[in-house]
């Protein structure tokens, strides 16, 4: 696994493509990714992309990760979302002490689902903590090996993150949504769960990484995850454009005598949709390249300039890709409302992704505050 290249991963994606495509509709219906798809992606080495080489991971350049994530997202956005989130949250293990890292990686590359809000209640006990809490948006929590949630001791100024095995939590049936249904982003809860001290992490920028996590990829966290989230939007919109181009070559709308491909409005809108996909992909890649070079050069955390570029890139991509999907729907007409066609899911997924907090409309304002030198109002821009 540690010797896999981007080419190897892309070929592996092509091998499992039929399974991902076949399981996409059942995943939507069941509101969680199928275990078969999750395991196939794991066996293909895809969850190793953000893991450290010292522990058998690939520690890929973000630009390579983007290509692999988009390739999956073009097949099934929910599969890509689980892939991004469950390896990116596992990369949070860079904040653990060496004993915690060793436990997390004891059986190979770990996968982890979780969220960092709202904090649960933490009570200090001998050797660790007793934690009671519940978090939403646990994407992939039905299949991830580990879970993470925040906790806070009464009277403490800050919360901390706690890692524990999936079997220790109760997964709740709370994921009922317009789009991204197959992500299984349900709430999960724990009651009076003991978490040892070595499986807890600060919610703060990474300043003293344990051995094996010294590389620039880990100083980019959590932006590696957020880059991946925006890349899923690119994959959805790219798939919508491809499907529309295919349809336009054969469809003549009812009561019309001109095929869609020969209609000037369809040509115009498809051009605009394609431009937004290409611009989104390029913007994400350029921001990721800049950020990687930024931390590699300084050997420190991301600069304010790098974080502004990343935030603007991911917010732009989510917005532009949702707009591209709307253009596609205008072109394909009633095909966009039929369940048997792919367009209605593209529409639902793209607009659900647009509401994700890390790249929703208010984040433009968060980047703008930093541009003006004002106090930061968004937690991940402080990392």
CATH no. of 111-202: 2.40.110.10
* Section 140-158 average pLDDT: 95
Confidence of residue 2 (pLDDT cuts 50, 70, 90): low
- Say if residue 220's pLDDT is above 90: yes
* Section 57-77 average pLDDT: 97
What would the pLDDT profile of 3-41 be if each residue is shown by its tens digit? Answer: 889 999 999 999 999 999 999 999 999 999 999 999 999
- Please name the residues in contact with 68: beta carbons below 8 A apart, sequence gap of 6 or more: 6, 9, 10, 13, 46, 49
β-pair partners for 162: 149, 200
CATH superfamily label, 220-382? Butyryl-CoA Dehydrogenase, subunit A, domain 3 (1.20.140.10)
- Please name the residues in contact with 29: beta carbons below 8 A apart, sequence gap of 6 or more: none
Cα dist from 55 to 22, 58, 91, 96, 295, whole Å: 33, 9, 12, 14, 22
What would the pLDDT profile of 300-336 be if each residue is shown by its tens digit? Answer: 889 999 999 999 999 999 999 999 999 999 999 999 9
Q: Residue holding tokens 């607009």?
A: 351
- Say if residue 364's pLDDT is above 80: yes
- Say if residue 1's pLDDT is above 70: no
In this prediction, residue 204 carries a pLDDT of 87
The phi and psi torsions of 216 (rounded to 5 degrees) equal: -65, -25
Confidence of residue 264 (pLDDT cuts 50, 70, 90): very high
- Say if residue 182's pLDDT is above 80: yes
Determine the Cα angle at 347 with ends 345 and 351, to 5°: 120
* Section 362-366 average pLDDT: 97
- Say if residue 149's pLDDT is above 90: yes
Helices 304-332 & 343-353, crossing angle to 10 degrees? 150
In this prediction, residue 47 carries a pLDDT of 97
- Residue spans per domain, the chain: 6-94, 111-202, 220-382
Confidence of residue 299 (pLDDT cuts 50, 70, 90): confident
Cα dist from 236 to 86, 179, 184, whole Å: 19, 12, 18
In this prediction, residue 258 carries a pLDDT of 85
In this prediction, residue 156 carries a pLDDT of 92
pLDDT cut 70: percent of the chain above it: 99
> Model's pTM, two decimal places?
0.95
Q: Answer yes or no: CATH 3.40.5.10 is held by domain 6-94.
A: no
Higher pLDDT, 99 or 209: 99
Half-sphere exposure of residue 204: CA atoms within 13 angstroms, side-chain side: 11
* Section 171-195 average pLDDT: 97
Confidence of residue 102 (pLDDT cuts 50, 70, 90): very high
What would the pLDDT profile of 331-360 be if each residue is shown by its tens digit? Answer: 999 999 999 899 999 999 999 999 999 999
Residue whose C-alpha is closest to residue 307's, from 203, 381, 204, 207: 381
Report the phi/psi class of residue 97: left, alpha or beta, with left for phi > 0 and alpha for psi in -120 to 50. Answer: beta
The phi and psi torsions of 202 (rounded to 5 degrees) equal: -75, 150
In this prediction, residue 255 carries a pLDDT of 79
Half-sphere exposure of residue 236: CA atoms within 13 angstroms, side-chain side: 35
In this prediction, residue 3 carries a pLDDT of 83
Q: Which of 30-44, 68-82, 251-265 is predicted with the least confidence, judged by mean pLDDT? A: 251-265
pLDDT cut 90: percent of the chain above it: 88
């Amino acid at each position: 696994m540690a010797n896999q290249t981007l080419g190897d991963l892309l070929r592996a994606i092509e091998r499992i493509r039929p399974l991902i495509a076949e399981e996409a509709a059942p995943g939507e219906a069941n509101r969680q990714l199928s275990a078969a798809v999750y395991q196939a992606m794991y066996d293909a080495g895809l969850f190793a992309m953000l893991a450290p080489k010292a522990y058998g991971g690939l520690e890929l350049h973000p630009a390579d990760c983007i290509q692999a994530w988009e390739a999956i997202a073009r097949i099934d956005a929910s599969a890509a979302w689980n892939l991004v989130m469950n390896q990116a949250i596992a990369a949070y293990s860079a904040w653990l002490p060496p004993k915690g890292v060793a436990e997390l990686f004891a059986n190979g590359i770990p996968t982890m689902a979780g969220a960092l809000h709202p904090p649960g209640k933490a009570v200090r006990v001998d050797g660790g903590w007793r934690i009671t809490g519940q978090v939403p948006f646990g994407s992939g929590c039905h299949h991830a090996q580990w879970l993470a949630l925040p906790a806070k001791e009464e009277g403490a100024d800050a919360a901390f993150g706690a890692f524990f095995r999936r079997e220790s939590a109760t997964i709740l049936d709370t994921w009922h949504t317009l789009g991204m249904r197959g992500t299984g982003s349900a709430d999960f809860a724990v009651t009076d769960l003991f978490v040892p001290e070595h499986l807890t992490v600060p919610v703060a920028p990474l300043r003293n990484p344990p051995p094996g996590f010294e590389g620039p990829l880990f100083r980019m966290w959590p932006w590696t995850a957020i880059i991946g989230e925006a890349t899923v939007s690119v994959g959805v919109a790219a798939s919508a454009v491809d499907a529309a181009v295919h349809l336009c070559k054969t469809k003549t709308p009812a009561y019309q005598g001109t095929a869609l491909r020969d209609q000037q409005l369809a040509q115009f809108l498809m051009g605009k949709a394609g431009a937004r996909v290409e611009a989104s992909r390029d913007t994400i890649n350029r921001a990721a390249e800049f950020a990687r070079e930024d931390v590699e050069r300084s050997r420190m955390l991301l600069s304010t300039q790098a974080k502004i570029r990343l935030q603007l890139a991911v917010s732009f991509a989510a917005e532009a890709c949702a707009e591209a999907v709307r253009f596609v729907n205008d072109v394909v007409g009633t095909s966009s409302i039929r369940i048997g066609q792919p367009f209605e899911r593209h529409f639902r997924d793209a607009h659900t992704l647009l509401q994700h907090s890390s790249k929703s409309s208010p984040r433009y304002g968060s980047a703008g505050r930093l541009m003006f030198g004002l106090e930061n109002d968004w937690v991940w821009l402080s990392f």
